Structure 1
Amino acid sequence: MSLGRELKRRARMMVAPAVFLAITGYFGWNATQGDRGLVAYAQRQQLLHEVVADQAAAKAERDAWSIRVSGLRARHLDPDTLDERARAMLNLADPNDVIVKLGPQDKLF
């Protein structure tokens, strides 16, 4: 009989630490692997860096196009830009022009 009581007493003593250990393990796992854990934080930081780089590239492209379009405004009509666009749209070239053919992977800007 005393052996049964001793086992019950020890089992009862082990329940609280086991529960607290399980809760600690659960929160520790969620702190690293959960939706808002350290791994997800690192992924969000990587995504943020990619988006900032994409934003900088888009801003540079927008600025380049803004400079090109400003040459076609009515108040400030750049003759070179107008001539370039007219030749591109009509697919014409001046006999004195040097024509350089670009491949499909080459970009002007």
Structure 2
Amino acid sequence: MVTRTRLGRFFRVLGLYCIAAAMIAYFAFHAQHGNYGIEAGRALKEEIANLTVERDQLVVERTALEHRNHLLKSNQIDPDLLEELARKDLAFALPNDLIMILRR
């Protein structure tokens, strides 16, 4: 009878160890692969780097557009810029300009 009690206690302790090991494995797996795990952190860092590069490009583009806008708004409009816009937007050409139509 004493053997069964010791054997029962052994299996209970073994069961508790197995449950604890399963819980540790579960949490370790999700710490690595979960929504907030290590791999997700790496992906977020990559996305942050890509978005930072894109933001820097947009800042440069915006600065150029603001400068161009300032040239159009100032008291004395830049004649070269005005001529460029007229030629591009209004299809304006001088009589001595040579117009070449390219087929695409």
TM-score (norm 1): 0.77
Deviation at 1:93, TM superposition (A): 2.5
Which residues in structure 2 correspond to 1:51-66 (within 5 Å)?
51-66=51-66
Kindly state the Cα deviation for residue 94 of structure 1 after the two structures are TM-superposed: 3.1
1:32-71 to structure 2, matched below 5 A, reads: 32-71=32-71
Work out the CA distance in 2 between the residues paired with 1:77 and 1:68.
11
| Partner SS, residue 72 of structure 1 | helix
Q: CA deviation at 1:101?
A: 8.0
Question: CA 1:55 to 1:96, structure 2 compared with 1: closer, same or farther past 3 Å?
Answer: farther
CA shift at 1:67, angstroms? 1.8
Cα distance, 1:99 vs. partner? 6.9
Give the secondary structure class of the aligned counterpart of 2:73: coil
Q: Which runs of 4+ in 1 moved over 6 A?
A: 98-102
Unaligned runs of 5+ in 2: none
Give 2:27's aligned residue. 27
Between structures 1 and 2, the one with greater helix share: 2
Q: State the shift of 1:96 in Å.
A: 5.6
**d(CA) in 2 for partners of 1:101 and 1:10?**
92
RMSD: 2.6
Q: Which has the higher relative contact order, 1 or 2, with Cα contacts under 8 A spaced 6 or more apart? A: 1
Describe the SS at the equivalent of 1:71.
Answer: helix
Q: How does 1:1-109 map to 2 (within 5 A)?
A: 4-94=4-94
Structure-2 change in CA distance of 1:98 and 1:65 (3 Å): farther
Gaps of 5+ in 1: 105-109
* Identical pairs, percent: 29
